[in-house]
């Protein structure tokens, strides 16, 4: 890969990661960033600061970031890696916008466990993202699931779309538990509360509230506002 291509791919990954983060800023704020690609460096250097602006500014800035990404499409391997990085960032951020019933944790400082089935690559990326991080006083942990495992002890569950039939029992056992289930819309797995989907070649998500009610979870209005689509709302 040429130096120019590496710089382009690094810049695109940066834009995508920053864009994903903007979805979860307080709606009264946005972050303006300056991106530099320096000679002899494979990736971009990013500096960011926060500015108070009107409520619509995050959507405007997000649109500008996605427009920049669309103008510099990377090679397919880089795009696949970028998708994994953005999914990992989403899964981490989702945890901060969901309230679990007290019964979901054995102790006030028990770990908040994110389970990943069907994607070791995503699990590895997520393990890096959550290092030394916590949500609501709960340290974050990642568990890789194999066939035959149960969802007991999980708080978030992502099931990859590569082999949807392999995880039907896992998903069936997750019904009614205080467990946020996440998957890919293309896989059409039943009972997922959040589904990733591509919109104009960019990774976004939709929320189905139908499976949320019996779980006892409460999803923040801010997360719902960032979704492409929300179904099952009364």
- Cβ count near 142 (within 10 Å): 24
Pair (103, 51) in one structural domain? no
Do 156 and 184 lie in one domain? The reply is yes
C-alpha dist (Å) from residue 103 to 174, 180, 183, 187: 16, 15, 24, 31
Q: What pLDDT is stored for residue 162 in this prediction?
A: 64
User: Do 33 and 130 fall into the same domain?
Assistant: no
Domain CATH for 218: 3.40.50
Range of the domain at 39: 3-74
Residues 90 and 179 in one domain: yes
Q: How many domains does the chain have?
A: 2
Final residue in a domain of this structure, among 74, 109, 130? 74
| Same domain, residue pair 148 and 86 | yes
Last residue of a domain, one of 74, 99, 120: 74
What is the distance of C-alpha 209 from the center of its chain? 17
Same domain, 128 and 206: yes
Last residue of a domain, one of 40, 74, 108: 74
Structure-block tokens of residue 231: 């179904």
Same domain membership, residue 164 and residue 90: yes
Residue 40 and residue 67 share a domain? yes
- Within the chain, which residues score under 70 in pLDDT? 1-76, 161-165, 234
């Amino acid at each position: 890969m040429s130096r120019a291509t590496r710089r382009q791919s690094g810049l695109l990954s940066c834009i995508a990661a920053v864009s994903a983060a903007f979805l979860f800023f307080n709606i009264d704020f946005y972050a303006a960033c300056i991106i530099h690609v320096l000679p002899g460096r494979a990736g971009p250097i990013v500096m960011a600061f926060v500015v108070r602006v009107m409520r619509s500014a995050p959507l405007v800035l997000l649109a500008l970031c996605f427009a920049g990404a669309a103008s510099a499409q990377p090679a397919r391997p880089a795009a696949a890696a970028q998708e994994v990085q953005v999914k990992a960032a989403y899964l981490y951020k989702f945890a901060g916008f969901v309230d679990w019933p007290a019964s979901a944790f054995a102790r006030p400082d028990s770990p908040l466990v994110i389970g990943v089935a069907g994607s070791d690559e995503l699990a590895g990326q997520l393990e890096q993202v959550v290092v030394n991080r916590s949500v609501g006083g709960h340290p974050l942990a990642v568990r890789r699931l194999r066939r035959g495992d149960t969802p007991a002890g999980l708080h978030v569950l992502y099931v990859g779309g590569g082999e949807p039939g392999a995880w039907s029992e896992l998903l069936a056992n997750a019904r009614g538990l205080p467990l946020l289930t996440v998957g890919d819309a293309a896989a059409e797995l039943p009972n997922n509360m959040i589904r990733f989907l591509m919109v104009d070649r960019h990774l976004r998500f939709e929320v189905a509230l139908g499976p949320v009610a019996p779980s006892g979870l409460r999803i923040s209005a801010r997360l719902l506002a960032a979704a492409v689509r929300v179904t099952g709302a009364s």
